Amino acid sequence: MELALGTVQFGLQYGIAGRSSAVPPEEAREILRCAHNRGIRVLDTAVAYGDIEERLLELMDGLDFRVVSKLPPRPPGLADASAIARWAQAQVRNSRERLGAALAALLFHRADDLLETGGDSLWQAASDACAGLGIESIGASIYDPDTLEQLCSRFPIALAQLPGNALDQRVTQLGTAVTGFALPSLHLRSAFLQGLLLMPESDALARLPQAGAALRRWHAWRAERSLAPLPAALGIVKGFAGVSHCVVGVDSLAQLEAIVDAWRSAPTLTAPELASQDGSVIDPRTWKVAA
């Protein structure tokens, strides 16, 4: 498993523990240079991440990153097959024009777009457009193994991005195949649960009270092993089989350097006893965060 660098923080304010604004361009350039120097070669971005997809190629400044981006959600009411095809082809072209030859893969940011009416037309049009423009892979960003199973039963998903961390261990349910279909290449996100796992216990409990029991288990578990939060979180991610890249987001150069150092030294860990099935804890879309 290798590290990949997420770029959402370069385009907008993000995360329960993030800074109050997007990373300024010069600082983003410095982070990208450091990432490249430290051996990271894959970047993750999306149309939905503010304006970063438009600016990322310039910020890369010629560095040979491979970029995974995500298509925007299908507009409501777009149901006609030909209209869906035209829209999908335009979105693929837009991402290719912004990112050039660095664009290696495109994901559907909203996986349900493929499972709803018109999903077959959407997939075919985007897939054909990617093939015509030399984009290597097409896939989807998902939230749970059930969705991946549904997608793989209908489409040749080449790459899937899904969450995984000490509290959200659903990625371990995938095994080596999905109901008879070969498992696609997997990129893991949310290794730190938007930074919640790295915050001091009292701060985390104050920000997300509904996660109290899970967070107490997490901090007790790592304290018993004399592990700091960062290597503990990364060590558990290292223990997830079948994942090619762990996507981490940073909002400072110091964060990136700390993560890379911890990644190299963290032991591979397993801790199924920490896993939670509570959506209000492991799915940030449901969070009602305390101020």
Task: Note down pLDDT in tens along the chain; length 291 residues.
Answer: 999 999 999 998 765 556 668 999 999 999 999 999 999 999 999 999 999 999 999 999 999 999 999 999 999 988 899 999 999 999 999 999 999 999 999 999 999 999 999 999 999 999 999 999 999 999 999 999 999 999 999 999 999 999 999 999 999 988 666 666 777 999 999 999 999 999 999 999 999 999 999 999 999 999 999 999 999 999 999 999 999 999 999 999 999 999 999 999 999 999 999 999 999 999 999 987 554
- Structural domain boundaries enclosing 219: 2-286
What does DSSP assign to residue 50? T
Question: Which position has the token pair 């492991």?
Answer: 282
pLDDT of residue 291: 45
**Phi, psi dihedrals of residue 219, rounded to the nearest 5°:** -70, -35
What's the total number of domains in the chain?
Answer: 1
Q: Tell me the CATH number at 20.
A: 3.20.20.100
Is 291 part of a structural domain of the chain?
Answer: no
Residues 6+ apart with CB under 8 A from 139: 105, 106, 107, 108, 157, 158, 159, 160, 161, 184, 185
Helix-, strand-, coil-residue percentages of the chain, each rounded to 5: 50, 15, 35
Measured on CA atoms in the order 261, 264, 265, 268, is the torsion positive or negative? positive
- E strands along the chain, which residues? 2-6, 42-44, 66-71, 103-108, 137-141, 159-163, 177-178, 181-182, 185-189, 245-249
Query: Is 21 inside any structural domain?
Result: yes
- Backbone φ and ψ of 173, nearest 5°: -75, -10
Q: What is the pLDDT of residue 14?
A: 64
Q: Is residue 267 part of a domain?
A: yes
Q: Note the pLDDT of residue 12.
A: 80
Q: What is the pLDDT of residue 56?
A: 98
Give domain status of residue 129, yes or no.
yes
